[in-house]
Amino acid sequence: MNLLGVTKCGNTEFRWRERTYVMGVINLSPDSFSGDGLSNVEDAVSQARRFVREGADMLDVGGESTRPGAAAITIDEEIARVVPVIERLSREVSVPISVDAYKYEVASRAVAAGAAMINDQWGLRYDVRMAQLVAEKNIPIILMSNQRTRDTGYDAKARADTATYTDVMAHVISFLHESLEITRRANIPPANTIIDPGIGFGKDWKQNLELIRRLGELKGLGRPILIGTSRKSFIGRILGAPPEARLMGTAASVAIGIANGADIVRVHDVAQMVKVCRMSDAIVRGYHPGIK
């Protein structure tokens, strides 16, 4: 029985726990940690089309690097990067488009351009207007737990540094519970909420491994779980590999994440991770359509 129900995103329905969905990353930041930043609309559209052919169920378009120490960009610059791409993709690909944004102005323009989902790395806690936008547009929101310390954001003073907590999963659950409470107060339907533990965001490499190992504990929040482990530094730490050589480490983290409860995986290498998901789903969920 599907206890999480169905989430409508654009013209697509995501039926949770039947199989794992793949989110392909369209990265428009030239200083991305993963080394896959795109600098023009045509390249982004070409990559998006390839991802859809390879089996991506949704695309996540972002214009600002999340790499620690990355230079900040202006709202206007971020809009200039993402909006033209979303406008094109909303007309030219068949899967839903998500915008990776936590600033109200960027998210609002992206939704107007055709984004059908918002991926908020601050879990609606950077700008109070984001919850209102999600409620008004009746679109899904990905709520990520972010343990980085920022000088901005309306509850920035409440954020903990990694050195100040001992149980990383308890801290993540508390953060996500508060984000879900924001959605409740804003009258955002539970079916429009997805949670993400925020691998790499204010956690050290050991804590990232622990989060994947204990991912099943997030099921208690009653919402679909997204994980984004692709090419991240904790994999590089374990394997001694640069971002472009972390494919197998990513595959391992995706497979174990699915075994422990992940419903969506956010990845850079779509073709390979679609196969990892297909095999993992056959083992974990007994999902192998068309095979007798």
Is the predicted pLDDT of residue 198 greater than 90, yes or no?
yes
Rounded average pLDDT over 148-155: 52
> In angstroms, what CA-CA distances link 64 with 74, 97, 141, 217, 279?
9, 17, 18, 30, 33
Rounded average pLDDT over 37-50: 89
The answer to whether the beta carbons of residues 212 and 77 sit under 8 Å apart is: no
Q: Does 120 reside within a domain?
A: yes
Distance CA 176, CA 123 (A): 7
Tokens of 74: 């202006």
pTM: 0.93
Q: Does 14 reside within a domain?
A: no
Tokens of 278: 């297909």
Percent of the chain scoring above 70 in pLDDT:
89
Percent of the chain scoring above 90 in pLDDT:
83
Structural element, H or E, at residue 180: helix 168-185
Q: Which pLDDT band, with edges at 50, 70 and 90, does 29 fall under?
A: confident
Q: Does 1 reside within a domain?
A: no
Distance CA 63, CA 147 (A): 21
Residue predicted with more confidence, 95 or 33: 95
DSSP assigned state of 223:
S
* Residue 157 bears catalytic tag: no
Task: Quote the longest CA-to-CA distance of the chain.
Answer: 56
Per-residue pLDDT of 240-267, as tens digits, reads: 999 999 999 999 999 999 999 999 999 9
What is the model's pLDDT at position 164? Answer: 59
Q: Does 88 reside within a domain?
A: yes
Q: What are phi and psi of 21, to 5 degrees?
A: -100, 145
**Residue 264, domain extent:** 19-284
Q: What is the CATH number of the domain that holds 136?
A: 3.20.20.20
Q: Does 6 reside within a domain?
A: no
Average pLDDT, the chain: 91
Per-residue pLDDT of 165-188, as tens digits, reads: 789 999 999 999 999 999 999 999
Residue type, 40: N
Contacts of 150 (CB under 8 A, 6+ apart): 126, 156, 159
pLDDT-wise least confident of 30-44, 177-191, 227-241:
30-44
Q: Does 59 reside within a domain?
A: yes
Per-residue pLDDT of 98-149, as tens digits, reads: 999 999 999 999 999 999 999 999 999 999 999 999 999 999 999 999 987 6
Is the predicted pLDDT of residue 161 greater than 70, yes or no?
no
* Residue 206 bears catalytic tag: no
In DSSP terms, 118 is beta-bridged to: 99, 141
pLDDT-wise least confident of 13-27, 105-119, 149-163, 204-218:
149-163
**Cβ-count burial 194-233 (b if 16+ within 10 Å, e if not):** bbbbbbbbbbeeebbbebbebbebbbebebbbbbbbbbbb
Of 26, 50, 48, 56, nearest in space to 38 by CA: 26
What is the model's pLDDT at position 71? Answer: 73
Q: Does 5 reside within a domain?
A: no
Catalytic residue among 246, 266, 278, 292: 266
The answer to whether the beta carbons of residues 175 and 147 sit under 8 Å apart is: yes
Q: Does 162 reside within a domain?
A: yes
Catalytic residue among 125, 203, 223, 232: 232
Domains held by the chain: number:
1
CA 17 to chain CA centroid, Å, is 17
